[in-house]
Copies of this chain bind each other. A is one copy, B any other.
Amino acid sequence: MEQEFSSTLLENAVSALSRLPGVGRKTALRFALHLLRRDPSDTYTIADAIADMRRGIKYCTVCHNISETDVCPICSSEKRQHSLVCVVESVRDVMIIENTRQYSGLYHVLGGLVSPIDGVGPDMLQIDSLVRRVKAGGVDEVILATGATVEADTTNFYIYRLMRREAPGVKVTQIARGVSVGNELEYTDEATLARSLAGRIPFEL
């Protein structure tokens, strides 16, 4: 149901808002009409906030996480364990891990996963910079903290081989895959259960 609006200003706003992920013209129109009903300052706040964000946020030159400074607060913190580097797919994953408040090392954001189907090769990701960073010294362990998908497995395997060749002294680990906390065994899929068995660890009290 393509719509034509009598107002060019409305048309432009709807077209622009449709660029947001998962937002079609119908939702964009709902956003626009909502903004028109509310106080103008609401709209200006949103417009300024996203423009300021885009202007002010850059990427950390060390870990490639978003940052307002050249080196992000995590990479420049003396309270973090600099010998530990956790490799993640995206900026979003850094936030998720930070929210657990269980990790005190640094990060390395790949900016995606190796995916031949989508035409994403290792050279399009921050893998070279990871190798350079590790070879520069001071890193004891690289934790591969990607999801449990085929692309994640491919990426992990690629990084592991490269690490063995380029920095053989550095430990490479990956986060455990197994039964989700709170889940019953009968509702766990077979692949996860198999992984969980293969990855068993000594029982500790």
Contact = CB atoms under 8 A, between A and B. Distances in A.
Nearest to A67: B7
Interface residues on A, range: 35 or more
Contacts of A74: 6
Contact of A7 (B29, B40, B45, B57): B57
Given A13-B52, A21-B31, A33-B91, 11 more contacts: A1-B99, A4-B99, A9-B68, A10-B66, A12-B52, A16-B45, A20-B31, A43-B50, A47-B47, A47-B48, A47-B50
A8 to B, nearest CB: 8
A53 interface: yes
A161 interface: no
Interface string A16-57: 110111100001011111111010101111111111111111
A195 interface: no
Nearest to A1: B99
Given A36-B66, A46-B17, A92-B33, A57 B6 contact: no
A157 interface: no
A35 B12 contact: no
Interface of A: 1, 3-10, 12-13, 15-17, 19-22, 27, 29-36, 38, 40, 42-57, 66-68, 72-74, 90-92, 95, 98-99
B13 A49 contact: yes
Contact of A35 (B1, B35, B47, B53): B53
A56 to B, nearest CB: 5
A21 B71 CA distance: 36
A66 B49 CA distance: 26
